[in-house]
Amino acid sequence: MTDRIIFVCALLLAGVYFWGTAQIPSLELGDPLGPKAFPRMLGVGLLIAAAMLLAEILNNRKKAVTDGDDSGGFKWEPHDWVVLGVVAWTALYIVLFEPLGYMLATLIYLLVLTGYFNRGRHLMNSLSCVLFVAISYFAFTKLLGVNLARGIIPF
């Protein structure tokens, strides 16, 4: 099942990529190929790879029928919700990264995640998060000269 989805995605991606290639304006000055030729080769390459995958799918199906194996389907499970939650929480962290600043946004982000994944150890979690944020901010901005978003904190 997943292989068939990959096959369809590869075909779709090849289609989108060919469309994107057609949008590139052509100015072939002293370059016999221009900016479109290599991308076109990649699009064709992706179609060939998709065809190879289709051959593998058909081959595996034949093998599964002879071996009596019918596994390989995808099932949504509770841990998938957790991963989706982490992704959504990280997306919110990125949205707030500049408005709130590195220190505040990271502190909130870490407190929530450590609170969920290291349950019951509130003091240890809070202390580690505060220390991590403070040390990383000052080490990177003051010692290494890395520019991090200040946000609403004035230093």
Partner 1 sequence: METLTHILHGFVVATQPINLWYTFLGVFMGTIIGVLPGIGPSAGIALLIPITYGMNPTSALIMMAGIYYGAKYGGSTTAILIRTPGEAASVMTSIDGYEMAKKGRAGAALAVSAIGSFIAGTIGVIGLTLFAVPLTSMALKFGPAEYFTLMLFAMTAVSTLTGKSPAKGIIATILGLMIATIGIDLQSGQARYTMGIPEFQDGVGFVVVVVGLFAMAEVLRGLEGIYRGTSAEAMKIKGKLWLTREEWRRSIGPIWRGGIIGFVIGVLPGAGGTIAAIMSYTTEKRLSKHPEEFGHGAIEGVAGPESANNSDTAGALVPLLTLGIPGGGATAVMLGAFIMYGVQPGPMLFQTRPDLVWGLINSMYIGNVMLVVLNLPLIGLFVRLLYIPQGILYPMIVAISAIGAYAINGSVVDLWLILLFGVIGYIFDKVDIPVAPLVLSLVLGGMMEQSFRQAMTISGGELKIFYGSAITVTLLVMSLISVMLPFIIPRLRAMGSKGDES
Quick check: 123 and 100 in contact, CB under 8 A?
no
Rounded CA separation 70/64 (Å) = 6
Rounded CA separation 48/28 (Å) = 27
Q: 48-87: which residues touch partner 1 (CB under 8 A)?
A: 48-50, 52-53, 55-56, 78-79, 82-83, 86-87
Residue 15 near partner 1 by CB under 8 A? no
Rounded CA separation 37/18 (Å) = 11
Rounded CA separation 37/129 (Å) = 51
Q: Choose which of 39, 61, 108, 130 interacts with partner 1 (CB under 8 A).
A: 39
Which 8-state DSSP code applies to residue 139? I
Rounded CA separation 151/73 (Å) = 46
Q: Residues 83-122 vs partner 1: string with x where CB under 8 A? A: x--xx--xx-xx--xx---x---x--xx--xx-xxxx-x-
Q: Choose which of 68, 73, 76, 144 interacts with partner 1 (CB under 8 A).
A: 144
Which 8-state DSSP code applies to residue 144? S
Contact footprint for partner 1 (CB under 8 A): 2-3, 5-6, 10, 13, 17, 20-21, 24-25, 27-35, 37-39, 42, 45-46, 48-50, 52-53, 55-56, 78-79, 82-83, 86-87, 90-91, 93-94, 97-98, 102, 106, 109-110, 113-114, 116-119, 121, 124-125, 128-129, 132-133, 136, 140, 144-149
